[in-house]
Amino acid sequence: MTRLPALAVAALTASALLTGTADAASPPFTASVFRATHNSYSGNVDGAKNSIGYQLDHGVRFIELDIHDNGYATTHDYGVGHDSPGNLVDHSGGNPASNNLRDWLTTVNTWSAQHPAAAPIVVMLDLKDDLTDNPSFAAGNLTAVNQELESVFGGRLLRAQDYPAGQPDVDSLRGRVLPLLSGHAGSRAEYKRDVGYHPAVALNGRGQIVEVHDSGGGALWYWTGTYGADGRVTWLRHGKYDSGQTPAVALNDNGDLVEVHQSQSATTLWYHVGKLGADGEITWQASHQYDNGVQPTVAFTDATHLREIHRSQSSSQNWTWTGTLSATTVSWTGNAKTSDARFAKDTAVNGTRRVRVWTGADGPTPSNTLRADTASVAGDRIRYRQVAFDEFQNGDSAELQQGALFYGAPATESAFITSARQSGKLVRGWDFDSASQATTPPANYPATNHPYDAWYQSLLTGAAE
């Protein structure tokens, strides 16, 4: 067996005392060490790990699944594999026969349900593809990742947004599954915040919210959400719906919406009709040109009638239209000059509820980070629900480091691992395949390809199970 440096032996012995003995107090989660595997899905195809079930049976509490999104439109799921779905995947020993992520998550969930006293299991999704180019939930964006995690693990899932304050101990987290995003940095950043320009918002009497904005480069995007009793907005769905700039939106209590925008390369004005579903998804109809001009705004005057006000493309004169919504189109009449101001498209008020959308940096995030104020909360980011934790890796941007609990680096980067551990983070060191790579203090998750080798078993004596 490879001999450990004396300091590493001392640190690991202390860790074992913290995490192992039956009569000891349950240690803090962040101070504990757990068995972990690298590329867990590869079993004995790449390394000597055996099946996911075997790994969990033998104390592994960190499972890594590399996933791809390029086949999502066909399979309606992400594909597990290293360089592509199926690459280096071991389907033997009770592992799923398919490469579908849901089947692999279900394997973990089934084991967790049968072992409710087990130490918390981290399931890391290593994003091998860019998920920011997926234009909708149906195309496999990060909302779909959230939905899959929640639907598979249910009440066993410990969402990042629900992580206990302070220092939870291992025993308080037993039986729980913690999801973690790693891999593609742009996708990890988008999960924590969104960016855009010219945001506009609508709010109806049922507390449903639609936000629209442009990308600054020709794309139009939307978010939908609900206004909670605590005054916070829960954002539900996100997607791309057209090309253009300076959009505005109106929403009635039936979930009917009308969006208006200016074309990206000309001063033509266009509108969409949409229907907001209970799940937060919008069914969009085709766009239609209704005029020429710039900076359009729109509002419902009753359940089926609208007023639109925009500025002339050649002067400061405002113009108005009256619209009648009928099924999937709007009939526009009464076009005339007006001295009325355009509607305040960045603010929506309904009863005591109020939402304002704007852009601004939140610490290290970009200056065009999308933000929202309500009557109760100021400056919340418009972003995906924080179901998964977001890993910070050595070399990542400051915005990925902000608020991160999980850190990760190759096992050879001992200085990064040591510093992160000393600052109270949960640290993964991957490709941990030699006892000589042990640090003081050790990584919480020394992710190895050979978890049953004598040196690893010795090194992880006393690891939390």
In the chain, where are the structural domains located?
29-190+386-460, 194-381
Q: In whole angstroms, what is the distance from residue 54 CA to residue 43 CA?
A: 10
> Whole-model pTM?
0.93
Q: Taking a C-beta distance cutoff of 8 angstroms, is the pair 183, 127 a contact?
A: yes
Q: Return the SS3 of 208.
A: strand
Strand partners, 320: 309, 336
DSSP label of 365: S
Host H or E run for residue 235: strand 233-243
Q: What is the pLDDT of residue 19?
A: 38
State residue 18's pLDDT score. Answer: 36
Residue 24's pLDDT is 57
Return averaged pLDDT per consecutive 10 residues of the chain, 465 residues in all: 36 38 73 98 97 98 97 94 98 98 98 98 98 96 98 98 96 98 98 98 98 98 97 98 98 98 96 97 98 98 98 98 96 98 98 97 98 96 98 97 98 98 98 97 97 97 94
Q: What tokens were used for 331?
A: 């009939």
Phi-psi region of 130 (alpha: psi -120 to 50; beta: other; left: phi over 0): beta
Residue 368 identity (one-letter amino acid)? N
pLDDT of the residue at 25:
77
* 29-190+386-460: CATH class: alpha beta
